């Protein structure tokens, strides 16, 4: 089936587009009243992820409201550790927790590499259902957490502020951590390739916690394993390229190293100037980003002004996918998200004329 709107995929490959494509991280989510209703129907968050029809419904909800250029699979980054048997659950107000933590070489050795069509089959069912539901309107993005980011949750037992347990493992028992990261990289490769076979037309790796590392440790414990993933991915399917985006939050100082992995695009958070990012790596990769999600609390004219400034910063030509620098906040008014999306299309046309 021909895509009716492929500007997102074209921009990732630096091919010409008519306007800058835009989507939002966490675009299917808690800021939408219809999402809250569907989640209530599902019972809880993981039940929503595991019900292909409802996961499809919440994926499509933002597309009905906003003129977005891509849909992203509705799932969670912690599906892989859950499928490894760690017992994922969600504490109200606490975020994700695991019943079992990884705290030794023996615990790492016992972890299985999940079969994506078995233990993670519900994700592939969701991908197939969403792809059908999209009916060729826009491309579908698949995703995974990075090995380092997944490992932080598995070793800490949930969210963390100081990352002391995983850093203790990193410095006191690096061999065990490398074994864990290697197993996670293998799992992510299988998982993302299965998403691509099921219908994802682009994939993204979220390295949410890479920015808590020193430059050397980032290279050894995070980037190395994302590079392994990039090398292991299916890069062409259904007769077209499958672009890969790597996103390290607070990773602005490492753009050159990220771009050197062979990925197609690098995600930017809001702590870096996009003009500077383009000057550093824009000849090699596309860039995704990078408005501060909190800007969506501003008045409509201030949102438009910010969009204009980021578009000016990137400048003329393709290779920019407009996004927030991280996920949309749950108390953002949906009408402000619409102002943002519409502003990107309206104000970017001038940058794509010969």
Count the neighbouring beta carbons within 10 Å of the beta carbon of residue 194: 20
* Residues in the chain, overall count: 354
pLDDT in tens, 260-284: 999 999 999 999 999 999 999 999 9
Of 241, 212, 206, 209, nearest to 226 (Cα)?
A: 206
The continuous run of DSSP H or E covering 116 comes out as none
Cα separation, 354 vs 344, in Å, equals 19
Which residue, 66, 85, 157, 147, is CA-closest to 341?
A: 66
CA distances from 235 to 192, 198, 242, 282 (A): 11, 14, 5, 20
Calculate the CA dihedral of residues 37, 41, 42, 45 and round it to 10 degrees. 30
Residues annotated as catalytic are 26, 30, 39, 76, 153
Confidence of residue 94 (pLDDT cuts 50, 70, 90): confident
Indicate if the pLDDT at residue 44 is higher than 80: yes
Question: Is this prediction's pTM over 0.75?
Answer: yes
Q: Are 202 and 142 in contact (CB under 8 A)?
A: yes
> Any bridge partners for residue 289, and if so which?
322
pLDDT of residue 294: 98
């002004």: which residue's tokens? 305
Query: How many Å apart are CA 262 and CA 241, to the nearest integer?
Result: 14
Q: What tens digit of pLDDT does each residue of 188-197 get?
A: 999 999 999 9
Q: Which residues are annotated as a binding site for substrate?
A: 26-30, 76, 153, 208, 326
Do residues 193 and 240 lie in contact, with contact meaning Cβ atoms separated by under 8 Å?
no
pLDDT surpassing 80 at residue 92: no
Domains in the chain, please, with CATH? 7-352 (3.20.20.210)
What is the bridge-based pairing of β-strands 202-207 and 236-237? unpaired
On average, the pLDDT of the chain sits at 97
């Amino acid at each position: 089936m021909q895509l009716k709107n492929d500007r997102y995929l074209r921009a990732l490959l630096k091919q010409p587009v008519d306007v800058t494509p835009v989507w939002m991280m966490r675009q299917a989510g808690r800021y939408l009243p219809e999402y809250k209703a569907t989640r209530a129907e599902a019972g809880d968050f993981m039940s929503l992820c595991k019900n292909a029809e409802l996961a499809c419904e919440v994926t499509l909800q933002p597309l009905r409201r906003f003129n977005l250029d891509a849909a992203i699979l509705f799932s969670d980054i912690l599906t892989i550790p859950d499928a490894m048997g760690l017992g994922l659950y969600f504490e109200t107000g606490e975020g994700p927790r695991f019943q079992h933590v990884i705290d030794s070489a023996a615990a790492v050795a016992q972890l299985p590499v999940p079969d994506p069509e078995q233990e993670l089959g519900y994700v592939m069912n969701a991908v197939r259902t969403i792809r059908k539901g999209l009916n060729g309107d826009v491309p579908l993005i698949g995703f995974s957490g990075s090995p380092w980011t997944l490992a932080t949750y598995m070793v800490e037992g949930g969210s963390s502020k100081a990352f002391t347990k995983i850093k203790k493992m990193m410095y006191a028992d690096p061999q065990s951590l490398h074994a864990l990261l290697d197993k996670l990289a293998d799992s992510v490769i299988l998982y993302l390739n299965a998403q691509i076979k099921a219908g994802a037309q682009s994939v993204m790796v979220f390295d949410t916690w890479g920015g808590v590392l020193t430059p050397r440790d980032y290279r050894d414990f995070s980037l190395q394993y994302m590079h392994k993933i990039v090398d292991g991915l299916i890069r062409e399917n259904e007769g077209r390229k499958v672009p890969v985006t790597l996103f390290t939050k607070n990773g602005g100082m490492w753009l050159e190293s990220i771009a050197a992995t062979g990925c197609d695009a690098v995600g930017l958070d809001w702590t870096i100037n996009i003009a500077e990012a383009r000057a550093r790596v824009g000849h090699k990769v596309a860039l995704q980003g990078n408005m501060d999600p909190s800007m969506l609390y501003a008045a409509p004219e201030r949102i438009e002004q910010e969009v204009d400034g980021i578009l000016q910063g990137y400048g003329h030509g393709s290779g920019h996918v407009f996004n927030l620098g991280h996920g949309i906040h749950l108390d953002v008014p949906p009408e402000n998200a619409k102002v943002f999306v519409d502003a990107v299309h309206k104000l970017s046309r001038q940058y794509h004329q010969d």
